[in-house]
Structure 1
Amino acid sequence: MTAKEAVPARDSEPAKEEVSVIQPIGFTPAPVSSGGRKLLLSPKAIAVVSCLLIGALMLVYLLVARSLIFETQPGDAKVTVSGLALPLGDGHLVLPGHYNYTISATGYVSQSGEVEVSSDRNSRHAVTLQRLPGHLQVVTEPNVPVRILVNGADVDSDNGLAADIPAGRKRITVLTERYLPFSKEVEIEGLDNTQTLNASLRPAWANVHITSNPAGATVSVEGKVLGTTPLTAELVQGDRLVDISLPQHKTVQVPVPVTAGVDQTLQTVDLAAADGTLRVVSNPPGASVTVDGEYRGQTPMDLELASNSRHQLRFFMDGYSTVERAVDVRAGDLRDMNVELVPVFGKVAITSSPADAQVFIDGKLAGTAGQTFTLPTRSHRIVVRKAGYEDYQTTIVPSSKLKQSVRAVLLTGEQARWSNVPAEITHGAGGKMLLMRPDAEFTMGSSRREQGRRANEVLRKISLNRPFYIGSTEVTNREYRRYQRMHSSSHASGVSLDNDSLPVVNISWNDAALFCNWLSARDGLKEVYRAERGRVVGFDASANGYRMPTEAEWAWASRYERGAMRKFPWGDSLPVGKNSGNYADSSAGQIVPAVLRTYNDRYAATAPVASFPANHLGLYDMGGNVSEWIHDLYTIGTGLSLKREENPVGPQEGDYHVVRGSSWKHAGLTELRLSYRDYGAEARNDIGFRIARWVN
């Protein structure tokens, strides 16, 4: 019956009591095995998976890893690599990265380092281990203490054992006293091994038989006593000096060349009686002494004299008479001798200019000039002194037979200073220069009334007192070509201007200034002209180097004489004096348009310098030959002021420079005058120059 059938209708009450009650029953779960939860994979499956995973990892390692191989010397060296490194054949299998390694072998110095293994290639390294030093035991026959040298250098050794010798071929030298050096090439194998070297030593001495007369003399070599004669001694080879000595006799030194193994007998040595000693003293001391004509020294001194013989002694000293003595001494004697020297005098007369100067002799005031002094006949230092003057000094040795004289000319300080300045010098290019010491006031230029005067000859009042050197001649082609080797002064209508002794021409003022600077540098002087890129831009008036003369110096040197100013080089009037200079004469008619028809100087163009007489100061060609570049820039004064100019040098800036003096082209009255002034900057074939320099 179904449940539906068993439920009666609600409105049927009698049937309610007959309904059956459903009772619950107990639940019993399904049985579970005693092994716990059931596994998804069996143990066998897990083992298979693990093997596959390890294989995959190994495959990845093999694919990524690279070989690291060390090629070692020696080949059996042990190689240790840090990190994960799998030994593989001759090397290791490693992943890319940095690894430390250590390589070691018995007998070798271990070597460590670091290598980097890249991912794109295997790594191979060659490593050579250094052998450990070796040891050498030297065994000698005979057995003696030795020194050991390795390649010429001493090494420490103990009983013939030299330790820690670097491996390789070495030159071993064994040294010991009284034996010849032993030397041999030895291959030191190293590896901390000890090798043995047997050295058979040969004697380095020879037997030398020594006798003396008389016998019983002591024999010593280098301070070591060997015995008494007669004696056979073992002497080490080499040049030996044998001393043979005996009381009351002279010691004899015998040089003996000794060759190892070659015995010899020396010739009997005769020992002479010993010298005697003579102790000599003189009054005053310092006397020179000769014995039998041989100089022996100065007193006081001890003289060693041959015994049993008579000797001639001579004592002499400046200012004293000579003393002679004869003496003999016995062997080993010590005697004294005192000698009294007698002074000898001479007369010296001393005068001075100016008079009444003080006289000092050997540093002491002796009197005044005009006296005669009696002095010992030895060297004396004489000083003559007077206030306002420099000292006069000399030395003199008076004579006992002849009266001597000293004349002292005293100079003022200024005179003394100038006495040390040479009156003539030669500059580095070979030209001569004369010293000028002007002290003059003069008027430079010319009067407006002077015939031939030009407007630029303005009168200027000059004071010139600065000393200077000036060239006695114009600079020659020879001198200039020491500066510019290829310079040519060319020619004038076929007449050469280029011979060595002719004045240099066809140079600009700038060329002349640069020559001066070159000459200053050559002679170690300070350059006067300031140059930039080969052009002169100024000058230093304080410099002591070479330059061209200033216009004031040139005018003074050419015109000033006895307080007056010359008009022409030869005098103050025309006509031109005979042989007075090189001008446009009759021989130049084919070259220049105007000439001096009645004058002939024999030169159509330039003449060799110094071909004509010098002026009153010793300067040549101050008129004629070539006109001369002047230091000063060209200016024209107003002529309204006669304010005195002291040692003028001209302005620093301008376009043209002064030209002074006539030349071989000039024949006119204007140009022949010494006051004639020209100007320019560029080269001409009738302009040269002479040099000057200040004396500071």
Structure 2
Amino acid sequence: MTAKEAVPVRGDDHADDDFSVIQPVGFTPVQVESGGRKLLLSPRALTIAGCLLLGLLALVYLLIARSLIFETQPADADVSVSGLALPLGDGHLVLPGHYSYTVSATGYLPKSGEVQVTSDGHSRHAVALEKLPGHLQVVSDPPVPVRILVNGSEVNSENGLAKNIPAGQKRITLLTERYLPYTREIDIEGLDNTQRLQAALRPAWANVRISSNPPGATVTVEGKVLGTTPLNAELIQGDRVVSLSLPEHKTADIPVAVTAGVDQTLAPVDLGAADGLLRVVSTPEGASVTVDGEFRGHTPLELALSSDGPHQLRFFKDGYTSVERSIDVGAGIERDLNITLDAVYGRVRITSSPENAQVYIDGRLAGTTGETFNLPARSHSILVRKNGFEDYETSVVPSAKLEQSIRAVLLTAEQARWSKVPAEISHPAGGTMKLMRPNAQFTMGSSRREQGRRANEVLRKISLTRPFYLGTTEVTNREFRRYQRMHSSSHVNGVSLDNDSLPVVNISWADAAMFCNWLSERDGLKPVYLTERGRVTGFDGSANGYRLPTEAEWAWVARYERGSMRKFPWGNDLPVRANSGNFADNHAAQLVPAVLRTYSDRYAATAPVASYSANDLGVYDLGGNVSEWIHDLYTIGTGLSMRREENPVGPQDGDYHVIRGSSWRHAGLTELRLSYRDYGAEPRNDVGFRVARWVN
């Protein structure tokens, strides 16, 4: 409707007089700047927007947040979590991230820590708080000071209160003087609470009745004077020593076993009269003293002697006459005794070889050999000395009844050194070895004119001066089997070569060398033979271990006699002498092609070692029985050299080693000679070995 339109009249066609006519008015439109800006600035709009934003944030928080739950011990502990953590039931609602927490409860030590909350799920953590220590108040009956031990360790306490005892089951022990230990198991509840322990203590002593004859003796126990006899004493249980002392009487120490609560009466103690004191000196000092046959010491000496009668004293010293005295000392009396001992002399004559050596007696120069010395009859040290010789030392006790003689044989330094080297030793396998000290120059080999000579027996000039030990016999099967337990020397056409006492055969040169190294290791000596992967690659000429004899050593021992070289083991002429060795005789006719028809050695093959006579040096079987492996590599010289070889050990190179000596297979002139040389490397049934060792 506009201003120009009429307002319709309701009712009938007639106008109502009570109504005024409605007049039109002017219309002016409202001026609105902007509808949207009006809404934003409205407080109501801002409130609604804020609520919507908070609701949105809360919704996002609820969607992202995770619950963080702490299961605590105790259950009512307070939990504090850092950052934005909303308490929710038994836990907290937190966003994923890193949080610090503190759990605390009354009576417990607070505990702090850190947790990591992830977006993967809810987080649950168990935290157990440690109880605060507890306290224990001990009330003893009777009320005496006590020491408190917790699980065996003493703790500080004041007026029976022990503080800060960790919670838990504890063994409480109370200790105090004169009462038995008191022990109880107590559950310390902790939580800074104080518990009370009532302890009824039991006495740890007993009444002991002590008496003595005569009475009035002072009673002392562990340094504490308790009174005088007769006496009732309270003694702490245990093994005690009760001392009773009375002037002019001996002190008595009585052991007493005391049991708490068990009273006892000791038997009356008889106190004997006190000892007298005797101070003894002698001229000279150091005399031995016996009292009634019992040794009591050396002068000067203080002797406690009983006063019940006289005592027999005897004084004696080497080189002096003995003195006896009868002494009576009253109770508590002190006496002095001076004794003089008279010297006793004996005559000793001292001679020497060589003569005119100096004689020292007890470290002092007394004269020269050839004199007779008058010496006290006691032990004296004697030293005889001469320039260029080692000192001779001995001791002597002269006798007044007869003259004694001392003969000093003086040795040069070299002689003295060799006197300490044993003439005979045993190697670890059980064989015997003798000391050889050659100082000889000889020609090894044989002349071209010698019947039976072979081309390899070239003459060589030898100087042999290095001392050595040499096995008196060849190594036996028994000895070798200590090294190789399963070794067998086998047999020849049913004739055994394997008995324990027979020389070992069917071994190579390398087997023999390795046996020597085994002996060296057993004796802690430096091995002679150098090895690599089980093979012998060389030798060490400076080593002191066991080895095979060199060819020069073997030839010297076998042949050298008073400056000449003998031809055969028995001498220089044929035929073979009886008992000269084990060669091919009639007993071996079924085993070898040629035999000695007129000789018998009783064995078809090998014989037990040392079955025949030894040579002048005490060495057996250098000819016969078995031929022997030698240390040297095999070579053939070109003729007699003008150069003398000093202690040769063989050439540096070669494929074979020397074999020396005849065997049970030999009967020919060539082989029976001691200059016979053979060679090889592989085992044979007539080749064995003996061991040697240098003396460094």
Task: Report the counterpart of residue 434 of structure 1 in structure 2.
Answer: 434
Contact 1:631 1:649 in 2 (8 A): yes
Which amino acid in structure 2 is aligned with residue 451 of structure 1?
Answer: Q
Cα distance, 1:89 vs structure 2? 3.0
| Alpha-carbon separation, structure 2, partners of 1:93 and 1:189 | 35
- Structure-2-length-normalised TM-score: 0.92
| Alpha-carbon separation, structure 2, partners of 1:511 and 1:520 | 14
Over 3 Å counting, the alpha-carbon distance change for 1:419 and 1:640 in structure 2 is: closer
Cα distance, 1:605 vs structure 2? 1.9
Over 3 Å counting, the alpha-carbon distance change for 1:582 and 1:58 in structure 2 is: farther
Over 3 Å counting, the alpha-carbon distance change for 1:128 and 1:328 in structure 2 is: same
Task: Report the counterpart of residue 608 of structure 1 in structure 2.
Answer: 608
**Unaligned ranges ≥5, structure 2:** 1-27
2:271 maps to 1:285? no
RMSD: 2.2
Cα distance, 1:662 vs structure 2? 1.5
| Alpha-carbon separation, structure 2, partners of 1:484 and 1:94 | 84
Cα distance, 1:246 vs structure 2? 0.7
CA distances 1:598-650 after superposition (whole Å, capped 9, x unpaired): 32222222222212221111111111222111111122222152311111112
Task: Report the counterpart of residue 202 of structure 2 in structure 1.
Answer: 202
Cα distance, 1:186 vs structure 2? 1.6
| Alpha-carbon separation, structure 1, partners of 2:438 and 2:467 | 6
Cα distance, 1:31 vs structure 2? 5.0
Task: Report the counterpart of residue 5 of structure 1 in structure 2.
Answer: none
Tell me the SS of whatever aligns to 1:552: helix
Tell me the SS of whatever aligns to 2:461: strand
Cα distance, 1:46 vs structure 2? 5.0
Task: Report the counterpart of residue 234 of structure 1 in structure 2.
Answer: 234
Cα distance, 1:51 vs structure 2? 4.1
Task: Report the counterpart of residue 506 of structure 2 in structure 1.
Answer: 506
Single out whichever of 430-439 and 131-140 deviates more from structure 2: 131-140
Contact 2:68 2:117 in 1 (8 A): yes
Over 3 Å counting, the alpha-carbon distance change for 1:53 and 1:393 in structure 2 is: same
Task: Report the counterpart of residue 262 of structure 2 in structure 1.
Answer: 262
Contact 2:460 2:640 in 1 (8 A): no
Tell me the SS of whatever aligns to 2:593: coil
Which amino acid in structure 1 is aligned with residue 514 of structure 2?
Answer: L
Cα distance, 1:584 vs structure 2? 2.1
Task: Report the counterpart of residue 69 of structure 1 in structure 2.
Answer: 69
Cα distance, 1:68 vs structure 2? 2.9
| Alpha-carbon separation, structure 2, partners of 1:527 and 1:626 | 26
Over 3 Å counting, the alpha-carbon distance change for 1:101 and 1:681 in structure 2 is: farther
| Alpha-carbon separation, structure 1, partners of 2:488 and 2:147 | 79
Which amino acid in structure 1 is aligned with residue 656 of structure 2?
Answer: Y
Contact 1:398 1:404 in 2 (8 A): yes
Cα distance, 1:199 vs structure 2? 1.6
CA distances 1:486-544 after superposition (whole Å, capped 9, x unpaired): 22222222222222222222222122212211211111111111111111111111111
CA distances 1:430-459 after superposition (whole Å, capped 9, x unpaired): 111111111101111111111222221111
Cα distance, 1:33 vs structure 2? 7.6
Cα distance, 1:266 vs structure 2? 0.9
2:404 maps to 1:404? yes
Contact 1:537 1:653 in 2 (8 A): no
| Alpha-carbon separation, structure 1, partners of 2:64 and 2:137 | 55
1:381-396 aligned at under 5 Å gives the runs 381-396=381-396
Task: Report the counterpart of residue 538 of structure 2 in structure 1.
Answer: 538
Cα distance, 1:255 vs structure 2? 0.8
| Alpha-carbon separation, structure 2, partners of 1:494 and 1:63 | 107
Cα distance, 1:97 vs structure 2? 3.2
1:127-146 aligned at under 5 Å gives the runs 127-146=127-146
| Alpha-carbon separation, structure 2, partners of 1:385 and 1:536 | 51
Tell me the SS of whatever aligns to 2:558: helix
Task: Report the counterpart of residue 580 of structure 1 in structure 2.
Answer: 580
Over 3 Å counting, the alpha-carbon distance change for 1:485 and 1:64 in structure 2 is: farther
Over 3 Å counting, the alpha-carbon distance change for 1:131 and 1:627 in structure 2 is: farther
Over 3 Å counting, the alpha-carbon distance change for 1:653 and 1:105 in structure 2 is: farther
| Alpha-carbon separation, structure 2, partners of 1:107 and 1:181 | 32
Contact 2:40 2:46 in 1 (8 A): no
Identity of aligned residues (%): 76
| Alpha-carbon separation, structure 2, partners of 1:285 and 1:57 | 115
| Alpha-carbon separation, structure 2, partners of 1:116 and 1:468 | 87
Cα distance, 1:678 vs structure 2? 1.5
Over 3 Å counting, the alpha-carbon distance change for 1:208 and 1:494 in structure 2 is: same
| Alpha-carbon separation, structure 1, partners of 2:660 and 2:301 | 78
Task: Report the counterpart of residue 20 of structure 1 in structure 2.
Answer: none
Which amino acid in structure 1 is aligned with residue 481 of structure 2?
Answer: R
| Alpha-carbon separation, structure 2, partners of 1:157 and 1:489 | 88
| Alpha-carbon separation, structure 2, partners of 1:615 and 1:311 | 72
| Alpha-carbon separation, structure 1, partners of 2:305 and 2:227 | 29
Contact 2:461 2:640 in 1 (8 A): no
Task: Report the counterpart of residue 16 of structure 1 in structure 2.
Answer: none
**Unaligned ranges ≥5, structure 1:** 1-27
Contact 1:273 1:331 in 2 (8 A): yes
Single out whichever of 357-366 and 568-577 deviates more from structure 2: 568-577
Task: Report the counterpart of residue 309 of structure 2 in structure 1.
Answer: 309
Over 3 Å counting, the alpha-carbon distance change for 1:592 and 1:194 in structure 2 is: farther
